[in-house]
A and B are shown apart, each in its own frame.
Chain A
Amino acid sequence: MMAVGLNHFLVLSALLFVLGLLAVLTKKNAVTVLMGIELILNAANINFIAFSRYADTDLDGQLFALFVIITAAAGAAVALAIVLNIYKQMRSVNLDEADTLAG
């Protein structure tokens, strides 16, 4: 039986990151994009905790993960509020239509 090590966590994190990135880049729905961002953030959290566990001895990484969760929650709240406003303005949450800033 192969022991679970740092590399396994890193691969999981990378997978999660890529999936989140994929969601962010390809999805039209703003809410789905936000969900992709959550995935990316959590991929980063996994890395923090993994490095905290295997490469370091103190709790810096775990604490940082907690801060990321908190800021992610706050960021999601703000982002959702923006999305709601965009919806009010445009009657849609489709990101392709929200291009009024185009040069």
Chain B
Amino acid sequence: MIVDYVIWIVLLPLISFAIQIFFGKRLPRQGDWLPTSVMFIDLLLSLIVAGKVFSAYDPEFRITRSFEWVVLGTTTIKFGILIDNLTAVMLFIVTLVSSLVHLFSIGYMHGDPRYSRYFAYLSLFSFSMLGLISVDNFLGIYMFWELVGVSSYLLIGFWFEKHSASNAAKKAFLVNRVGDVGMFIGILLIFAITHTFNFSEVFGKIAAGELSGALLTTAGILIFCGAVGKSAQFPLHVWLPDAMEGPTPVSALIHAATMVAAGVYLVGRTFVLYSEHALLVIAGIGTITAFIAATIAVVQMDIKKVLAYSTISQLGYMIAALGVGGYNAGLFHLMTHAFFKALLFLGAGSVIHAMHHEQDMRQMGGLRHKLPVTFATFLIATMAISGVPGLAGFFSKDAILAASLEKAMETGMLYHYTIFAILIFTAGLTAFYMFRALFLTFYGTPRNKEKFDHAHESPGTMTIPLVALAVFTVIGGYGKWFEELVRKPNLQMFAESGAVQDATHAATEAAAHGAHTIAMVLSIAFAFGGIAVAMLYYYWNKYSAEAVSKKFAGIYNFLWNKWYFDELYQATAVRGTLLLSKAMGWFDLNVIDGLVNNTARLTTLISFGSGTTDNRIVDGLVNWVARIIGWFGATLREIQTGRVQAYILMALGAFILLYVIQLAMV
């Protein structure tokens, strides 16, 4: 029953994609209503599914349905759907953000020459993303993983006339490919050992000890590579800021709320796969990413770039949370982040729309009276991401910080204390750069008078999604349901010997509470500290940001150039590839071609010899035989006179000859 609903949720966008891509232009209003209404139906269905799943209120709730997809000898590959609490939450997040983005796009993309195709791509993306979160096996998740990659590529490069957009699309695709190769190797490694793709079966075999030790760590890190690519983690984070070349609603949907969270979802879904060592790597990567991205966001001037780096930073938080064992906290932040980051992007889209596609914050300022709805919702989202108490972002970020402190106290390792310190410092940075963006955009005096005068609030199709998301940003963090329903899975759950409850659970609970209080106090302090600094610089203008940037020009340039990651990759990966291809080209032209040419020359020579032999010796022999036979024929034909009498005479002669011989022999 629930499964049928989920199947429809996944398939409906595919159907609307097919209709839209082929007939979109001929439908009334270029068919924008079709994918939009399909997404709202999906939202309704996923609400029903969520209602049914949550009404069971069971942390171990799971329904699966699968069919035999491929049978290869003795190996059967099954394909199916897995629904548990996490799936239900993800379905709700994706359909909610997607449907609101569809609605927002109607206004934002109005008048675009490829308006109908845009909606087709959005549908394709929705289908892929919904499939990604509903499948029950590694192979299926990999397929949908690549499908979201394709739709992301199509949408980043949607305005492909712009050189930067088509380049950004290529960059996103290639950088993602680096991570995906690792993920694919990881999947194959798992399959080679366990002979199954199905999540539960794989975990069951890990619980049974079939895959363990260094190999398990390797498999975990390889699978995590996929998440590094898709969730834009260090060192593969470089594609996400460039992906902002796509239309802003796309950035909100794909590159902020849903697709980039797929990596976090993947790590969450396959959580029991990661050994203690793999988790150390994951936590480290997440923390580094959170910190690097936050520092870069501090100096960005493009409003979308600020949000992009903020997204990378927040994704780093989620990954770090999973890495320190804060399973629930990471996924909780995934949900709240989806709400407020989609809201921030759509708000930015509204601003950009109002400013006639101006994205530079140096051209904005003082917009809060011109765009009241946008401003109000943007402010809520900014407060949420900064960690102002009472909003969704506060609860989830607090949970992450608490989880990391808890882990540090549990292990006592400097490594984990460092992670906690960096994360809490980054929380302050986040509050600073988000309020900086807010003040630069909405406060102060207009810096571009002409564009300011033309600015106007966006139409209802654009403000309604903003308000809807703002509501979820406010209420999304309340209640204990998420914490209680989305529980950290452990291997015992998948062991065949029945569930053995974690005995240490109660003991850690008390320690967790202590860590929680410290983390909450620190996170509030750092959040307000960040906001205060932002106000000093950008609201009251007590200090000049420019003076600081001049004073610390070295650091400023380092951050402005995004830690020189692009230059580094240009110098190593890109130039390396070019050099390699040049070397390969030389090798091809000289060695391979030389070999081929010499082989050809040798072949000609051999064929010449063989031809001569054929012409002279073989043909000569044949001709010689023919000539001899011809000579005999010519000679003997003389006897064949045709005169009967001559024949008889010859017969007589022969007879006499035989007679004489006979006589002579006697």
Report whether A24 and B645 are in contact in the complex, using a CB–CB cutoff of 8 Å: yes
CA distance A19 to B230 in the complex (A): 121
Residues on B with beta carbons closer than 8 Å to the beta carbon of A25? 645, 648-649, 652
CA distance A26 to B643 in the complex (A): 12
Q: What is the CB-to-nearest-CB distance from B434 to chain A, in angstroms, rounded to a whole number?
A: 115
**A102 in contact (CB, < 8 A):** yes
In the complex, which residues 82-103 of chain A have their Cβ closer than 8 Å to any Cβ of chain B?
95-96, 98-103
Residues of chain B at interface, number, CB under 8 A: 11
Quick one: which of A24, A100, A103 contacts B648, CB cutoff 8 A? A24
Report whether B642 and A99 are in contact in the complex, using a CB–CB cutoff of 8 Å: yes
CB nearest to B645 among chain A residues: A25
Quick one: which of A33, A102, A103 contacts B645, CB cutoff 8 A? A33
In the complex, which residues 627-652 of chain B have their Cβ closer than 8 Å to any Cβ of chain A?
636-637, 640-645, 648-649, 652
Quick one: which of A95, A100, A103 contacts B644, CB cutoff 8 A? A95
**Chain A CB within 10 A, most for which of B637, B644, B652:** B644
Residues on A with beta carbons closer than 8 Å to the beta carbon of B640? 101-103
Residues on B with beta carbons closer than 8 Å to the beta carbon of A24? 645, 648
**Chain B CB within 10 A, most for which of A25, A26, A95, A103:** A103
Quick one: which of A21, A95, A99, A102 contacts B652, CB cutoff 8 A? A21
**Chain B CB within 10 A, most for which of A21, A26, A96, A98:** A96
Q: Is the interface of A mostly helix, strand, loop or mixed?
A: loop
Report whether A101 and B645 are in contact in the complex, using a CB–CB cutoff of 8 Å: no
CA distance A87 to B536 in the complex (A): 141
CA distance A103 to B632 in the complex (A): 13
Q: What is the CB-to-nearest-CB distance from B323 to chain A, in angstroms, rounded to a whole number?
A: 105
Q: What is the CB-to-nearest-CB distance from B17 to chain A, in angstroms, rounded to a whole number?
A: 87
Q: What is the CB-to-nearest-CB distance from B168 to chain A, in angstroms, rounded to a whole number?
A: 92
Residues on A with beta carbons closer than 8 Å to the beta carbon of B643? 95-96, 99, 102
Residues on A with beta carbons closer than 8 Å to the beta carbon of B636? 103
Report whether B641 and A95 are in contact in the complex, using a CB–CB cutoff of 8 Å: no
CA distance A41 to B586 in the complex (A): 99
Q: What is the CB-to-nearest-CB distance from B217 to chain A, in angstroms, rounded to a whole number?
A: 97
CA distance A18 to B341 in the complex (A): 134
Q: What is the CB-to-nearest-CB distance from B635 to chain A, in angstroms, rounded to a whole number?
A: 11
Residues on B with beta carbons closer than 8 Å to the beta carbon of A102? 640-643
CB nearest to A102 among chain B residues: B642
CA distance A21 to B645 in the complex (A): 10
Report whether A95 and B645 are in contact in the complex, using a CB–CB cutoff of 8 Å: yes
CB nearest to B639 among chain A residues: A103
Report whether B642 and A103 are in contact in the complex, using a CB–CB cutoff of 8 Å: yes
Residues of chain A at interface, number, CB under 8 A: 13
CA distance A99 to B644 in the complex (A): 8
CA distance A63 to B652 in the complex (A): 28
In the complex, which residues 608-666 of chain B have their Cβ closer than 8 Å to any Cβ of chain A?
636-637, 640-645, 648-649, 652
CA distance A48 to B644 in the complex (A): 28
CB nearest to B649 among chain A residues: A25
CB nearest to B641 among chain A residues: A102
CA distance A24 to B645 in the complex (A): 7
Residues on A with beta carbons closer than 8 Å to the beta carbon of B642? 98-103
CA distance A25 to B644 in the complex (A): 9
CB nearest to A103 among chain B residues: B640
Contact with A along B284-309 (1 / 0, CB 8 A): 00000000000000000000000000
CB nearest to A21 among chain B residues: B652
Q: What is the CB-to-nearest-CB distance from B630 to chain A, in angstroms, rounded to a whole number?
A: 13
Contact with A along B340-353 (1 / 0, CB 8 A): 00000000000000
CA distance A21 to B637 in the complex (A): 25
Q: What is the CB-to-nearest-CB distance from B152 to chain A, in angstroms, rounded to a whole number?
A: 91
Residues on B with beta carbons closer than 8 Å to the beta carbon of A100? 642
Q: What is the CB-to-nearest-CB distance from B510 to chain A, in angstroms, rounded to a whole number?
A: 125
Q: A21-B652, A25-B652 are in contact. Are A99 and B641 (CB under 8 A)?
A: yes
Quick one: which of A96, A99, A103 contacts B637, CB cutoff 8 A? A103
CB nearest to A33 among chain B residues: B645
CA distance A58 to B644 in the complex (A): 38
Residues on A with beta carbons closer than 8 Å to the beta carbon of B652? 21, 25
CB nearest to B633 among chain A residues: A103
CA distance A103 to B642 in the complex (A): 7
Contact with A along B268-298 (1 / 0, CB 8 A): 0000000000000000000000000000000
Residues on B with beta carbons closer than 8 Å to the beta carbon of A103? 636-637, 640, 642
CA distance A21 to B636 in the complex (A): 25
Q: What is the CB-to-nearest-CB distance from A64 to chain B, in angstroms, rounded to a whole number?
A: 22
CA distance A36 to B645 in the complex (A): 12
**Chain B CB within 10 A, most for which of A25, A26, A98:** A25
In the complex, which residues 34-79 of chain A have their Cβ closer than 8 Å to any Cβ of chain B?
none
Q: What is the CB-to-nearest-CB distance from A98 to chain B, in angstroms, rounded to a whole number?
A: 8
Q: What is the CB-to-nearest-CB distance from A83 to chain B, in angstroms, rounded to a whole number?
A: 12
Residues on A with beta carbons closer than 8 Å to the beta carbon of B641? 99, 102
Residues on B with beta carbons closer than 8 Å to the beta carbon of A101? 640, 642
**Chain A CB within 10 A, most for which of B637, B643, B649:** B643
CA distance A95 to B644 in the complex (A): 8
CA distance A25 to B637 in the complex (A): 21
Q: List 27 A-B contacts (CB under 8 A).
A: A21-B652, A24-B645, A24-B648, A25-B648, A25-B649, A25-B652, A26-B645, A33-B645, A95-B643, A95-B644, A95-B645, A96-B643, A98-B644, A99-B641, A99-B642, A99-B643, A100-B642, A101-B640, A101-B642, A102-B640, A102-B641, A102-B642, A102-B643, A103-B636, A103-B637, A103-B640, A103-B642
- Taking Cβ atoms with an 8 Å cutoff, the residues of A that contact B are 21, 24-26, 33, 95-96, 98-103
Other A-B pairs, 18, CB within 8 Å; known A24-B648, A25-B648: A21-B652, A24-B645, A26-B645, A95-B643, A95-B644, A95-B645, A96-B643, A99-B641, A99-B642, A99-B643, A100-B642, A101-B642, A102-B640, A102-B641, A102-B642, A102-B643, A103-B636, A103-B640
**3 nearest interchain CB pairs?**
A102-B642, A103-B640, A99-B642
